[in-house]
Amino acid sequence: MSWFKRIRQGITTTTREKKETPEGLWYKCADCKHIAPAADNEANLWVCIKCGHHQRIGSEDYFSILFDEDEYQELFAKLKSGDPLSFTDTQPYKDRVESSMKKTKLKDAMKVAVGDIDGESVVVACMDFSFIGGSMGSVVGEKIARSIDYCIEHKLPLLIISKSGGARMMEAAYSLMQMAKTSAKLTQLSAAKLPFISLLTDPTTGGVTASFAMLGDLNISEPGALIGFAGPRVVKETIGKELPKGFQTSEFVLEHGFLDKIVERKDLKAFIAKMVRMLAK
Amino acid sequence: MNYLDFEKPIAELADQIEKQKQIAEKNKVDASQTILQLEDKLEQTRKEIYGNLTPWQRVQVSRHPDRPYTLAYINHITDGTFTELHGDRTVKDDKAMVGGFGSIDGRTVMFIGQQKGINLKMRQLRNFGMPNPEGYRKALRLMKLAEKFNKPIVTIIDTPGAFPGIEAEERGQGEAIARNLFEMTLLKVPVICIIIGEGASGGALGIGIGDRVLMLENTWYSVISPESCSSILWRSWDHKETAASALKLTPNDMLGNGLIDGIIKEPIGGAHTNQEETFCRVKKEILKNLTELDKLSSDARVIHRIEKFSNMGVVVE
């Protein structure tokens, strides 16, 4: 016998009558499901207050974390994707780009800015995963190439923040050649003896991992990021069994010797500034 | 001989010729006239079919089971002087990537390339031409060796991709390819890259940075295979033909878009119908390009290489 007895059957509140929680007031951690006020979450740099899970954030968020007083100058902001192959799959590539632009208010999957990080002037090129999965097409390649020219001209260090599924399929071989292009340009930055710090964030896979992201003088990452060449689904299909726990996380990649350090988001600014100073002196 | 689905008319004619020959032999009659006519017709059919290959058909030819693989080219071009060298000096010897010195018209050249297997057992040994990180590191070691002794490098590309396995990830597949892109840009010796079959994505590009990048006529080069592209964008393999066209992966498209430097014509009917002739043409191209590249200083070659790849891409301002 239960203490309470249901008099009427079923839930009677219609969906329309339910009190809606306004969007964006609360944040639920994707990892531990902890719910925290969105403002607290933002104040904690989009890192879960309970479990430390680093959420995916955009280029402007990184700029606000890194640059002193959130002051910076965006570079090469006008670059947009062409459609050299008139590519069409389930929808024309042109439309895909247009709708991504509308949805994200971005022009492509990378923004470049120059500004001071703890007083050190640095060029930061940061990818946006929200724009077609952060895929690398001609715009990303060209922005990196121009960033490198800018760094050489102004004798500045370069920080690239990667967050990408890899090459952009809709630009086919053009996107493949961005791997060659960015790597070739990095030889010039290297010859100029200017520091290149590569920050790999969740996720960094495919052609981005297999080009500039792995070529930093320092390769660093945030905790718990997915980093790999082949995506986990492809690896799983290849070997035909479950992947080991922690496979392709930053901790895994550090353990196997391909990262210099895992840096928490709260320490990022200080770390970058410190390393830039150390490498310069 | 193996025939692809669209080669059926060719197969039928070849079959007829064979039958005529047997009948002539058996009955001791002269069928040479009929056979000649049939052979003529076969040649004509071949020309027609191969003159109008769709992008997907070209992908199929690039994987033709009778098509020669890397070592066949190298052994023929170097007239049997090829000496294979092994190992990346770190982990192991990757059988999917071969390399070594060989002599071509009296000149020592470093040859490097992905190797597919010629039968089931060898295909497994060669991992279907899909290198692991140690393969790319072996390739780089050999390139550096060639550079030290001032020998030009020829890379031969034929891979369905870099291997996507657990150990490949543990040993840094991404880093290995990235390192090669960086280091190949700076090589002081001439580098010629030739795609002889499949040029799939980063796995191909990992040995694909050169002063000259050439494609054989019936090959493909792109960021992804048509099948995988179809499965990602259309969520099924059924659209591979459409994907093959959309990717613009044929040698003509690639040359037209300025992403490669030249095309090597194959005998009508594909490289496998006349391997000897194919090898000769490839050898001739290598020699021709080496002569041209010899005229430049090593610094000039590196500058041109960087410029060439830096100019790839289409953006709107």
Segment B223-268, tens digit of pLDDT: 999 999 999 999 888 999 999 999 999 999 999 999 999 999 999 9
Same domain, B178 and B92: yes
Number of domains in chain B: 2
Structure tokens, A14: 């219609």
CA A134 to chain centre: 7
Q: Is residue B37 part of a domain?
A: yes
| Alpha-carbon span B286 to A35, nearest angstrom | 64
Q: Is A84 on the interface with B (CB under 8 A)?
A: yes
Which residue range forms the structural domain that includes residue B271?
60-310
Residues of B in contact with A179 (CB under 8 A): 177-178, 181, 202, 205
* Average pLDDT for B66-80: 97
pLDDT bucket at A23, cuts 50 / 70 / 90: low
CA separation for the pair A183, B208 (Å, rounded): 13
Among B52, B68, B84, the domain boundary falls at B52
- 10 Å Cβ neighbour count for B255? 16
CA distance A160 to A81: 20
Does residue A4 surpass a pLDDT of 80?
Answer: no
Q: Are both B121 and B245 inside the same structural domain?
A: yes
- pLDDT tier, A19 (very low <50, low <70, confident <90, very high otherwise): low
CB contact under 8 A, A174 and B257: yes
Q: Is residue B201 a part of any domain in this protein?
A: yes
On whether residue B216 sits in a domain, the answer given is yes
**Per the CB < 8 Å rule, is B201 touching A82?**
no
Looking at residue A25, its pLDDT comes to 86
Cβ–Cβ of B165/A239 closer than 8 Å? yes
pLDDT of B196: 98
Specify the pLDDT at position A21: 60
Quote the pLDDT of residue A13: 65
Residues B258 and B120 in one domain: yes
Length of chain A: 281
A179 and chain B in contact, CB less than 8 A: yes
Looking at every residue in chain A, the average pLDDT score rounds to: 94
Which residue, among B310, B311, B317, would best test binding to A if mutated, counting the most A CBs under 10 Å from its CB?
Answer: B310
Whose structure tokens read 């090597």? B264
B159 and B30 together in one domain: no
Mean pLDDT along residues B122-132:
97
Cα torsion B241, B246, B251, B255 to 10°: value is: 170
Same domain, B176 and B295: yes
Our CA-based measurement puts residue A167 at a distance from the nearest CA of chain B, in whole angstroms, of: 7
Interval B20-67: pLDDT, tens: 999 988 988 888 888 999 999 999 999 999 999 999 999 999 999 999
Å between B42 CA and nearest CA of chain A: 35
B39 and B142 together in one domain: no
Q: Which of residues 248-277 of A touch B (CB under 8 A)?
A: 248, 252, 256-258
CA dihedral (A156, A262, A204, A70) positive or negative: negative
Q: Does A212 touch chain B (CB under 8 A)?
A: yes
pLDDT at A7 > cutoff 90: no
pLDDT, one tens digit per residue, over A140-186 is: 999 999 999 999 999 999 999 999 999 999 999 999 999 999 999 99
Nearest CA in chain A to B204: A176
B127 and B20 in a common domain: no
Distances (CA, A) of B183 to A179, A197, B42, B151, B186: 13, 18, 48, 16, 5
Query: B213 pLDDT band (50/70/90 cuts)?
Result: very high
Give the best residue of B136, B157, B169, B198 to mutate against chain A (max A CB count within 10 A). Answer: B169
The number of beta carbons lying within 10 Å of the beta carbon of residue B141 is 18
| Strand B107-114, strand A110-117: pairing | unpaired
Residue B11 pLDDT: 94
Q: Are B23 and B31 spatial neighbours (Cβ–Cβ below 8 Å)?
A: yes
Q: Are B33 and B5 in contact (CB under 8 A)?
A: no
Within 8 A of B177 by CB-CB distance, chain A residues are 179, 210-211, 229
pLDDT tens figures, A46-105? 999 999 999 999 999 999 999 999 999 999 999 999 999 999 999 999 999 999 999 999
Task: Provide the shortest C-alpha distance from residue A49 to chain B (in Å).
Answer: 31
Residue B34 within any structural domain of the chain: yes
Give the CATH number of the domain where residue B162 resides: 3.90.226.10
- The continuous run of DSSP H or E covering A72 comes out as strand A72-75
B317 within some domain: no
CB contact under 8 A, A173 and B174: no
Domains plus CATH for chain A? Answer: 22-55 (no CATH), 57-280 (3.90.226.10)
Same-domain status, B232 and B107 = yes
State whether residue A101 sits within 8 Å of chain B by CB: no
Q: Are B116 and B129 within 8 A, CB to CB? A: yes
Radius of gyration of chain B (CA): 21
Q: How far is B50 from chain A (nearest CA, A)?
A: 24
Does B315 map to a domain? no
Report the share of chain B in percent with pLDDT over 70. 100
* B44 and B119 housed in the same domain: no
Instruction: Based on the fold, state whether residues B176 and B35 are members of the same structural domain.
Output: no
| Residue B4 CB burial class (10 angstroms; 0-12, 13-18, ≥19) | middle
pLDDT at B198 over 90: yes
Same domain? For B209 and B282 the reply is yes
B212 shares a domain with B192: yes
Q: How many CB atoms lie within 10 A of CB A98?
A: 12
pLDDT, tens digit (0-9, with 9 covering 90-100), for A207-256: 999 999 999 999 999 999 999 999 999 999 988 989 999 999 999 999 99
The predicted structure's pLDDT at residue B25: 87
Q: Where are the alpha helices (DSSP H) in A44-171?
A: 59-66, 93-104, 138-154
